[in-house]
Structure formats: C-alpha cells, structure tokens
Chains A and B, each alone.
Chain A
Amino acid sequence: MMDNQNNNIILKLNNITKKFSGVVALKNVSLSFYTGAVHALVGSNGAGKSTLMRLVNGAIRPDSGQIIFKNKPIQINSPRLANSMGIVMINQELMLIPELSVAENILLGRLPVNKFGVVNWKEANSLARKLVNSLGADIEPTKIVKNLSVSEMQVVEISRALSKQADIFIMDEPTAALPESEVNKLVELINKLKERGKTVIYVSHKMREIFQIADNITILRDGEIVGNFEVKDINVTKVLNLMMDKKKENGVIKKKNYEIGSILLSVKHLKRRGIFQDINFDLYSHEIIGLAGLVGSRRTEILHSIFGLAPFDSGEIILNGKKISRITPEKMINYRIGFIPEDRRKQGLVTGMSVKDNLMLVSQRFISKVGILKLFQEIKICNSIRKELDIKAPSLRVEVSTLSGGNQQKVVIGKWFATKSKIFIFDEPTRGIDVGSKNEIFNIMKRFANEGAGIIFVSTEIEELLIVSDRIITLKSGRKTGEFLKKEVTLDIIMKFI
C-alpha cells in the first residue's frame, strides 16, 4: 500500500495487543509512521483509537508486541518519558499554565538564565517569538495564556513541544473546540511541521479535514486495523464503510410502528451566546430522535441547557404545552425527564456508593414516604431493574465502580426506571462499551419508545443513530442544519450536514 514513502519510518508498532479487564481493546495492531507525514487515525468510538494514542504517549503499556522508535525497540513507561523522547500529545486538556505568559509556557522549566538564576526575558521572548513564527503564527510572547484564543493556545503548546525537539505530535480532535475561521490556521501549522520533517498523528472524525491534511490513513474497528492507505488512494465513502460494522443490525428489536403520539417537548429558538443558537425541534411520544453532529457541534451543551444544568440566553422550553421557566435538574426530573449523561463515572454514577444506592438515587424522591426510604420496596425494585436490564453484579451492595463499563451504564439507565419518566435524554450512552451491551442498550431505548416515551439520542456514530432513531436532526457548530426522517437519509447524506 504505502510504497512511495521517501521518508523514514520513525515509529513502528509490531503486533500490539492490549486488553482491559478481559475486553480486547487492540488486537495485533501493526503500523508504521513516517517522518514529514501526517497520519490520520479514524474509527468509531470504542474502535481503539484512544487506546492506541495512549500507548504511543506512554500512559499505558501493551500486553504484547513491540514499539520501535527511531529504529530502536523501546518501552514508553510514562507520558513524561514519552515527552522527553520526543513524543508529545496535544489534546483537549491543554497542558498550559493559565496565569503565565506565552514565553514562559513555551519554555516551561527551561527559561534562559544568567549565572545567578535570573531570567533573561529578552532572550526568552525572542526564542518564543521565533518558534511561534516558525509555525506561521504571530502571538506576543508576553501575553498571558489565559487571555488567548483556543487556537492560539494550541500554537503555544505545539511551540513548546517543538522547542523540546519533539518528533511526533499526536493530536486528538484538535479542531473540536476551534471555530471554522481558525481551522485553516491549524492546517497551515501542521504543514509547517511536515516541512520540518515532523510526524503528526491526527485523530479525528472530520473526514473533510483529514482528506485535506493527511498523507496516510489508518482505519480501526473493534480494536483491529481494517485498512491502511495513502489518502490519495482512497475516498470518504470507502473509509466510512470500513469504519462501520454492518452486522450491528442483527439482534436488535425492530421497533413497532406506532403512530407517533403527542408532543412531549418543544424547544423553540434556544440560544446561548457563543455556544449555540436558534435550536428548534419537537419531541413526540413513541419516538426516538437522533442528534447527529461531530465533536464540537455543541449537542451536549444544548442538552444541558434543556435539562437545567447550564443556562441559556433566550428561547423557550415547553413541556406538555406549558412553558418552563427557571429550569433546574430537580424541576425537570419532577416533570419526568431522565438524563443519561456523557461521563458515566463522574456524572452518571456516584463512585463509592453501592449499586442499590445509585439505582435509587433519583427514584427515591418518588418512592419514599415523608422522606423515609421504603427499604423493602427498594430492594424489590432494584432486583427487578437488575433482572430487566440484565445487570451483572455479584450483589446490590457492591460498590458500583467494580462493575464493567457496560453494566455501569445499565445502572445509569436503571436509575431512571422507577421514575416513570416520559422523556429520556441519552448522551453518548454507548461510549466505551462492548458490542453486546450496546445492543442491549439500543433494545432498552426502543422498549421505552414502544411504551410511549420520547427519546433524544446523541451519538457520534452515525450508524448507531440510523439504526435506532425515527428522526435525525443534524447539528453543526451549535446550529441546526437539517431534520430528516430515517427512511429519507443515508450515512453519506448525513455526513454532508455535519
């Protein structure tokens, strides 16, 4: 496949395998990365991209296989070691010091000093300026980092890596937080890195960018490499087909075709300055709406504003015909809305509490009498939830963090069972979960809908949305770009709108 590379191989992965608690995250992955090239890494959530990145970055170690860096087999034991060897990761969590200047961040810990340890600011600033300019950007070295824009911060972080002679730059969804206008700057920057012979490993969902920037592309699915091409030899459709697994449709209940029922929720002209605007949609009973969009489309922010976790500046939220003001999560729960959040461990579950306590955390307000818990009833309810959702746990009393990812997610969903909710919001419910559990979760969603609930479903995997939803709403950079019935669209069409 890759036969015209004049560049050298800087990093080679040989038969890498990695398992987490028995679940295989990467299987026999072999891959080469070249100097002066941009290598895109694509795959749906759970395909193994982040595991691969973390391996290269030193955050985790492979169970078997070899990593060969600059022709030498090595063990990358920690991110700090990776850093010092020249492998740097740039992700959403920028590793910058907000109160210090650009120059200080770039030269972190290595400010030029005289023999007394006093900093030579002139030299520091000029060094910083040179590095920033070499990336095609122009930022005052004395500016305080917290006042910079996101793309400027990225420049600073990349400059720091450059100043430490980094050779490999791993970029994880770098354009997710960037406004459209800044994306070009990043593209330029990456080209400059290429000119200097650096390697960029580019992880993203955005096909357009990938085909703009990347030289090579590797497609992962379920922990294995299903394709390894030079970008010029392939197109978007082939990539998407390789990414998705057609077999997913098996084992999923077909949804009964009810007449779509009454309007449960209406969102009108919802706006939050700088985040999203003019969001309109209606949710009917017996239906599932899929919100499609890339990372950065602000779907989660919209959902948070609807549920009362974040404010919004204008617009209306109407439940069962009544406009709701001063929205809080408590209120929305009393109105029978359930929210399954994106971050299972931090937002969906209270780690440290038992399965039972987690399951009852929300429903307790509806079950308890005068605030006193009805223990026997609770145990009955928990057992029935456990059976219905097939939650595999040694006992209801164990700490919820001891369960597997899929079972944890079931607990998060089970939290809302006894609330008799009519509206459910699922924000990325299948992230990091094995295929079997994913299907179970889809079935649960369909069951709810069959029983009369309205569901809003967010996922970055368009295929999932297509399987489960009745309608799909596309969002891009905080704006609604389209609304379709499932039977009207295909994957390609959706991709155009996000």
Chain B
Amino acid sequence: MTEIQIKNRKNNNRDYIYLLSSFLKENIVWIVVAVFFIIFSIIFPTFFSERNLLNLARRSFVVGIMAIGMSFAMISGSFDLSVGATMGLTTVIVIQLQPSNLLSMVIAILVGLSIGLLVGLVNGLLVGRAGTNSVIATIGISFVVLGINLIYTRGNHVWIQDIYKGFEFIGAGSIGKFPFPAAIFLFIIIVSQFVLRLTKFGREIYSTGASKECSIFSGINVDVITLKCYLISGFTASLAGVVTAARVYNVDPTFAVGTEFDVLTAVLIGGVSLFGGKGNAINTAGGVFLFVMINNIMTLSGMNLETQSMVKGVLLVIIVSVYSLFREKSG
C-alpha cells in the first residue's frame, strides 16, 4: 500500500472509532438498561416474571408519555413542571364528563386533550414571549391548575359510573398481549423521534436549546419554538390523563401531585441535557424504563414509599450533579 493509502485507511479507521464512540456515549442509557435488567433478573426472581414485566409496561406509559413531551420542552431549553397538575386535572375532568357512550367519550377525550393544549399555551406565552423563569412559572401554573382541580372536585374522590366499553379499551385493552396504552406510548416515541430527528422543526428545537443566540441569528423564531414545545408537553400530559382515566375509572383529585418529579428524573436519566440541545425520544424512553425498573426493584425489595421517595430525591441530585460536573469539565 502506498503512504497515502495507509494514511487514508488510518483516517477512515479513526472516523469509525470516533463515530462508534460518540454513538455509544449518546445512547449509553440503553446499555445501562440492559445491564440493570440482567442484574435485577438475577437477583430478584420475581422481577423476571411475565406478570411483573407486563405490569412494568403498563406503569411506564404514564411516565413515558409525559417524559417524551417534557423532552421536547427541555431540549428546547425550558422546564415544564406543570405536567403533573395538568394530567391530574385532565383525568378528573374526563371522569366527571362520564364517558358512558360513544358521543360522551369523544367529547370527554377532546375536552381533556384541549386542557393540555391550553396549559401549554399559557406556559409558552409566559416563558417564551414574556421570558419568565420556566421553573417558577410552571410551578406557579401547576398550583393554579391544582387549585382549579380542587375547586372543581371540591376535594372529593371522583369516578365514572357507567363506563363505555370503547373507553375501557383505551385503558385496559390489549392488542394481542401488548397493552393498548403501551402501544400509544410506542406510537408517540416513533412519531416524536421522527419529528426531532427528521424535520426542520426538530432541528430548530435542538438549535434553540443549544444556542438561543445563534438560532435568532439564523432566523429561527425562538419564542414560537418554545411555545410549540410547551404545547406538546401539555398535550402529552393530558393524553396521559385521558389514558389514566380510562385505566382506573376513579381517582382522588390530588393523585398526580409530584408526578412531574418522576418524569423529570426519567427524562434526565435518558440523557436529555439540563441545559438544552441534547437528547432524543428513544433515549428518553430508555430513561423511563430504567426509572420504572428502579422503582419496581425498590418496591419488590420491600422498601416503603417514603424511603423510595428519599432515594429518588437523592437520585435526582446525583444525576444533576453529574451533568454539572461534566459541563464544567468540557468547559
């Protein structure tokens, strides 16, 4: 081989190694999921049962759907901590609209989904247009939404008296052995990944999160991007609410309080950066699975809920510290 040929081959090899290592780094969450799955299955025999795994699948959709939506907001550089309250209000309203036949079901679902869009709109205007701090603004909104919820229900438990079969299917039905809600989750993952990676909108979301200034210079309307991402985040929260209503038929109005915390943790585990501009739907799903697995293990090992809460709090702090330390290093 001539010198140039050798050099070219070395360059090519270097390229491949670079591509491979950056691919692994970006998608590391799935490796961790696999490792944890194997370890947990070995240590906890009950973990690897069909019943438990199907249960996990069902649990993961609530957090999962919201996590995908929240990912949009976070990749664009904003936090949305109102998703729990939004989901809560949606579930409560859908239930109270008593979906007992086709028409009332359709109305309930449409009303439910528009709640998420409405909350997203308000968030988007507050944070995008007016430029308020996204954490506090969405916390404030979450209190308002929770308040509306409590007034509407007067603090009382609510339930569907006569549930329509079609609606029941949404929550409890299966396509073969595959639970319908998980199918929704899968669909959302695919669509979201497509949008994020293969559309102009998606690229503009990454750009807005990674460098607001450059995005402005490139003619991207960052306020509109932020607004759209909040709409998505709110929508997925209300979607999760609709499916929850279909699954459990009755809830306490405060049942969803604190959900945003779990969703945030899952999103961060999945590699969406605190600072915006990084992450994708598939990896967020990986983060969701990992999060749900950890939760599951804690329950299976007999840890009570309060301790689980403590562990999750520490977990969030650790993840966030790691992100910050990494950022300091790369400067």
Say if the two chains contact directly (CB < 8 Å).
yes
Residues of A within 8 A of B (CB): 309, 328-330, 332-334, 339, 341, 346-353, 357, 360-362, 364-365, 368, 371-373, 375, 394-395, 397-398, 415
B203 pairs with A330, CB closer than 8 A: no
A497 to chain B, nearest CB (A): 30
B326 to chain A, nearest CB (A): 13
Pick the residue among B14, B207, B216, B220 that contacts A394 (CB under 8 A).
Answer: B14
A309 to chain B, nearest CB (A): 7
23 contacts between A and B (CB under 8 A): A309-B217, A328-B221, A329-B217, A329-B219, A332-B219, A334-B219, A346-B211, A346-B213, A350-B207, A350-B210, A351-B210, A351-B211, A352-B278, A353-B210, A360-B203, A361-B207, A361-B215, A373-B200, A394-B15, A397-B19, A397-B22, A398-B18, A415-B218
A454–B216 alpha-carbon span in the complex (Å): 23
B207 pairs with A329, CB closer than 8 A: no
B11 pairs with A394, CB closer than 8 A: yes
B320 to chain A, nearest CB (A): 19
Given contacts A353-B277, A361-B207, A394-B11, contact A346 B214 (CB under 8 A): yes
B206 pairs with A353, CB closer than 8 A: yes
Count contacts between A and B, CB distance < 8 Å: 84
Given contacts A330-B219, A332-B219, A398-B18, contact A353 B213 (CB under 8 A): no
Q: Number of B residues whose C-beta is below 8 Å from A?
A: 26
**Contact flags B40-60 to A (C-beta < 8 A → 1, else 0):** 000000000000000000000
B207 pairs with A353, CB closer than 8 A: yes
B213 pairs with A347, CB closer than 8 A: yes
Q: Which chain A positions have C-beta within 8 A of B219?
A: 328-330, 332-334, 362, 365
Q: Which chain B positions have C-beta within 8 A of A349?
A: 211, 214
9 smallest CB-CB distances across A and B, nearest first, come from: A333-B219, A330-B219, A329-B219, A350-B211, A352-B210, A368-B200, A347-B217, A350-B210, A364-B200
B100 to chain A, nearest CB (A): 40
A349–B215 alpha-carbon span in the complex (Å): 9
Q: Which chain A positions have C-beta within 8 A of B200?
A: 364-365, 368, 371-373
A177–B11 alpha-carbon span in the complex (Å): 48
B14 pairs with A375, CB closer than 8 A: no
Closest B residue to A331 by CB, please name it. B219
A348 to chain B, nearest CB (A): 7
Q: Which chain B positions have C-beta within 8 A of A357?
A: 203, 206-207
Q: Which chain A positions have C-beta within 8 A of B199?
A: 368, 371-373
Given contacts A328-B221, A361-B207, A394-B14, contact A348 B201 (CB under 8 A): no
B310 interface residue, CB < 8 Å from A? no
**Contact flags B7-22 to A (C-beta < 8 A → 1, else 0):** 0000100110011001
B211 pairs with A352, CB closer than 8 A: yes
Residues of B within 8 A of A (CB): 11, 14-15, 18-19, 22, 198-201, 203, 206-207, 210-211, 213-221, 277-278
Q: Which chain A positions have C-beta within 8 A of B211?
A: 346, 349-352
Q: Which chain B positions have C-beta within 8 A of A372?
A: 198-200
Q: Which chain B positions have C-beta within 8 A of A341?
A: 217
Q: Which chain B positions have C-beta within 8 A of A334?
A: 219
Q: Which chain B positions have C-beta within 8 A of A348?
A: 214, 217
Most buried by B among A339, A352, A372: A352
B218 pairs with A395, CB closer than 8 A: no
Given contacts A350-B215, A372-B198, A375-B198, contact A395 B15 (CB under 8 A): yes
Q: Which chain A positions have C-beta within 8 A of B213?
A: 346-347
Most buried by B among A350, A353, A371: A350
Q: Apart from A341-B217, A360-B203, A394-B18, what 11 extra A-B contacts exist at CB < 8 Å?
A: A329-B219, A347-B214, A347-B217, A350-B215, A352-B210, A357-B207, A362-B219, A372-B199, A373-B203, A394-B14, A395-B15
B195 to chain A, nearest CB (A): 9
Pick the residue among B18, B201, B206 that contacts A371 (CB under 8 A).
Answer: B201
A350–B278 alpha-carbon span in the complex (Å): 12
A371–B210 alpha-carbon span in the complex (Å): 20
A333–B218 alpha-carbon span in the complex (Å): 8
A200–B203 alpha-carbon span in the complex (Å): 49
A330 pairs with B221, CB closer than 8 A: yes
Pick the residue among A329, A373, A397 that contacts B218 (CB under 8 A).
Answer: A329
B197 to chain A, nearest CB (A): 8
Pick the residue among B14, B22, B214, B221 that contacts A350 (CB under 8 A).
Answer: B214
A125 to chain B, nearest CB (A): 36
A329 pairs with B214, CB closer than 8 A: no
Q: Which chain B positions have C-beta within 8 A of A347?
A: 213-214, 217
Pick the residue among A309, A351, A361 that contacts B203 (CB under 8 A).
Answer: A361
A432–B141 alpha-carbon span in the complex (Å): 47
A346–B217 alpha-carbon span in the complex (Å): 10
A348–B22 alpha-carbon span in the complex (Å): 24
A288 to chain B, nearest CB (A): 21
A417 to chain B, nearest CB (A): 14
Q: Which chain B positions have C-beta within 8 A of A397?
A: 19, 22
Given contacts A328-B221, A346-B213, A348-B214, contact A364 B203 (CB under 8 A): yes
